[in-house]
């Protein structure tokens, strides 16, 4: 329970920081009340954008939970799909059909912040991601 509360606070803080700091807003911003789920403010919430570092951390979190639950292992294969290979830079550039171990995919995703590997991990751990109609 404490861990979930901490993650909710971390997520809310990361999403609210650009709004509170007055920083340049190059990406969509959503500020919401964690208890009610009510959106308090948003800017370009429906604008197409690419996975940010926080998305990659949450992908890693879901992956580590799957490892702890015995659903996957660090040596599980991660297959690159056409969709994941098509993600924009920053990327590793693997061709569709390439296969790597989950431990190596996590390192590339977290150290290089590779969008293509983040999508491949997400697809292999959580299921497919439908391509955007504008892609």
Q: Which of 42, 39, 14, 41 is nearest to 28 (CA)?
A: 42
| Residues 60 and 119 occupy one common structural domain | yes
The Cα–Cα gap between 17 and 13 comes to: 6
| Residues 58 and 104 occupy one common structural domain | yes
39, part of any domain = yes
| Residues 77 and 36 occupy one common structural domain | no
93, part of any domain = yes
As for how many domains the chain has, the answer is 2
79, part of any domain = yes
Residue 94: domain span? 53-126
36, part of any domain = yes
pLDDT tens digits for the chain (135 residues)? 555 555 554 455 555 554 444 445 466 788 888 888 898 998 888 777 665 688 899 999 999 999 999 999 999 999 999 999 999 888 999 999 999 999 999 999 999 999 999 999 999 998 765 655 554
132, part of any domain = no
The Cα–Cα gap between 84 and 64 comes to: 20
| Residues 73 and 91 occupy one common structural domain | yes
Torsion of the alpha carbons at 116, 121, 106 and 68, rounded to the nearest 10: 170
Name the β-bridge partners of 31.
41
| Residues 89 and 24 occupy one common structural domain | no
β-strands 99-101, 77-79: how paired?
antiparallel
134, part of any domain = no
Residue 46: partners with Cβ closer than 8 Å, 6 or more residues away: 28
């Amino acid at each position: 329970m404490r861990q979930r509360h901490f993650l909710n606070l971390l997520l809310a803080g990361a999403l609210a920081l650009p709004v509170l700091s007055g920083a340049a807003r190059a990406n969509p911003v959503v500020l919401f009340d964690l208890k009610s789920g009510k959106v308090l403010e948003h800017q370009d919430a429906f604008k197409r954008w690419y996975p940010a570092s926080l998305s990659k951390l949450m992908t890693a979190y879901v992956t580590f939970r799957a490892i702890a639950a015995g659903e996957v292992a660090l040596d599980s294969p991660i297959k690159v799909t056409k969709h994941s290979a098509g993600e924009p830079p920053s990327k590793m550039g693997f061709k569709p059909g390439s296969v790597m171990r989950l431990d190596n995919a996590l390192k590339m995703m977290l150290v290089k912040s590779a969008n293509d590997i983040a999508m491949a991990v997400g697809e292999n751990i959580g299921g497919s991601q439908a391509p955007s109609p504008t892609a």
